[in-house]
Amino acid sequence: MSFSRRTLLGTTGAAAVGLGAAACGSGGALDPDVPLDLAVDDTDLAGSISLLTPDFVGDDRPVLDQEVIAPFTERTGIDVSVDQVDWNKLNEKISTGIAGGIIADLIMTGVGWTQPFAEKGIFAEIPADYIEGLGFDESVLAPARFEGKYYSLPQALDLRFLAYHPEMFAAKGITEPPTSMDELAEVALELTGDGVVGFDYLSGSAGSARQAFVFLLYAFGGTMFSEDGLSTKLHEEPGRLTLQWMLDRMDDGSIDYDMQAAEGQPSPFQQKKAAMSLVATGNWPTWMQMTPELCEEGAAGVFLMPSGVGGDPVMFQGGTFISVSSLSQNKDAAGAFMKHMLEPEFLGIANAATGKVPPTPDIPENEEIQSSLLTRFGLENLEYAGATEGGTAGYMQIRTNLDGIVEGCLTRRASVEETLADMKSLCDDAISRLR
């Protein structure tokens, strides 16, 4: 039998196309529209499941293993293996998992992630009657919905607001935190000088430039997307006001773009290089570890982001949401573990470890949570936690590119008008490709 060059090339091409088609067909059967059966008695279940989480890093991990997972395994006999990944690598981890057919049974993601993955059929629907029984506030459930159904549930909230050094305020004769964006600008400028910036807003110690932009956008009365998630509102007047406000603060020196929080080191606010700062509830364990003096009574003050349009102040709501993969081979066990993690006792234990806020105040008394100024303040002001990311099923593509667009404006590579146009173009393109 002889092969000509043409035969060989033809055979190779056909094999390649065949392999490609086979590869494209991988991923298993998606079954997102069949709600989870959470009424199953978990002691009747068996096997093993996997959990993909961006939380529980470093010292927090033993708490997850020993105080959250171990009691579940002891009670049910179900093994839970944990795959930990950084937040900024989570999206790729999920997508490569899908491509390779090795997606975790339970996936923990963030605010703004539920709609895109629900739209793609990756997350299984969670029955509404179970959710009603949890008694979670509507404000924390909104990011878990897609087209009226629930595909995730909040396991932790990461609330963001502003912190200040009271002694720096006192030194300038400032007695109260600002109550409007104009006042915030004035106070920031007044506190700037002698090696201190008035407002650490972009160092990354509490989120990216994108999240900082979104937070301010809500303060100026804006939202990211329309109610149905099918059109963007980023390019409207609140977006312009937000970008201009940030640029003005950099112009007067009260926000310094080059001031960065170096990995593993105290933030500029912790080092007292910034008088005020954007902070997240999850910063508290870092403060305790690196700058415990900042955790003493009265050492730091906190306040909500004032409104720029005369309305209520605003709090940014990030968080960790848990979903069951629609591709899971052991959905009942995965559903059982999700229920276990959302029990008040384990919500308290897990959030005490991560420094985040339980999605409900109905948890057993927990000293670590009560001792955190940031968590207490967040829980007390949960009703203002209206600033959230996402709101469209196309958000994962938008999210990736929005950082670069915002940074481009803040570094004067694009004007405010160009930036708004870029944002609109990015969102329109992503939304137009939704199936």
Partner 1 sequence: MSAAVSPGPTTPDAERVAAPDAPVRRRSVRTAERRWGLILAAPATLHTLLWIGVPIIVAIVLSFTAYDIIHAPEFAGLENYATIFTDGLFWRSVLHNAIIAGVGIPISMFLALVFAVMLNRAIPGQGIFRVMVFLPHITATVAVAMIWLWIYNPSENGLMNVVLGVVGIGPLPFLTNPDLALASVILVTIWQGIGLKMLIYLAALQGVDGQLYEAADLDGANFVQKFFHVTVPMLRPATFFILITALIANFQTFDLIYILTEGGPANSTSVVTYRIYQTAFQEFRVGLANAQSVILLLILIVLAFLSRKIVGGTDGD
What are the residues binding partner 1 (CB under 8 A)? 12-13, 15-17, 19-20, 23-25, 27, 30, 88, 91-92, 95-96, 98-99, 120-122, 257-258, 260, 262-263, 265, 396-397, 400-401, 403-404, 407-408, 410-411, 413, 433, 435
How far is CA 411 from each of CA 182, 223, 408, rounded to the nearest angstrom?
Answer: 23, 23, 5
User: Which lies closer to partner 1 via its Cβ, residue 172 or residue 433?
Assistant: 433
Least distance between partner 1 and beta carbon 204 (Å): 8
User: Which lies closer to partner 1 via its Cβ, residue 93 or residue 235?
Assistant: 93
User: Which lies closer to partner 1 via its Cβ, residue 271 or residue 307?
Assistant: 271
Q: What tokens does 315 get? A: 């709090």
Least distance between partner 1 and beta carbon 225 (Å): 17
Provide the H-helix boundaries in 128-236.
128-134, 138-141, 166-171, 181-191, 209-219
* Residue type at 46 in one-letter notation: A
For residue 24, give every residue at least 6 positions away whose Cβ sits within 8 Å of its Cβ, in sequence order, or none.
none
* Rounded Cα gap, residues 282 and 280, in angstroms: 5
Q: What tokens does 65 get? A: 């293993």
Least distance between partner 1 and beta carbon 6 (Å): 15
Contact 301, 174 (CB under 8 A): no
Least distance between partner 1 and beta carbon 139 (Å): 28
User: Which lies closer to partner 1 via its Cβ, residue 76 or residue 203?
Assistant: 203
For residue 280, give every residue at least 6 positions away whose Cβ sits within 8 Å of its Cβ, in sequence order, or none.
158, 159, 160, 206, 207, 318, 374
User: Which lies closer to partner 1 via its Cβ, residue 15 or residue 34?
Assistant: 15
376 φ, ψ to 5°?
-60, -45
174 φ, ψ to 5°?
-90, 120
**Which helix (H) or strand (E) covers residue 91, if one does?**
helix 87-100
Least distance between partner 1 and beta carbon 413 (Å): 6
Bridge partners (DSSP) of residue 81 are 50
Contact 293, 365 (CB under 8 A): no
User: Which lies closer to partner 1 via its Cβ, residue 175 or residue 432?
Assistant: 432
Least distance between partner 1 and beta carbon 277 (Å): 16
User: Which lies closer to partner 1 via its Cβ, residue 381 or residue 401?
Assistant: 401
Least distance between partner 1 and beta carbon 397 (Å): 4
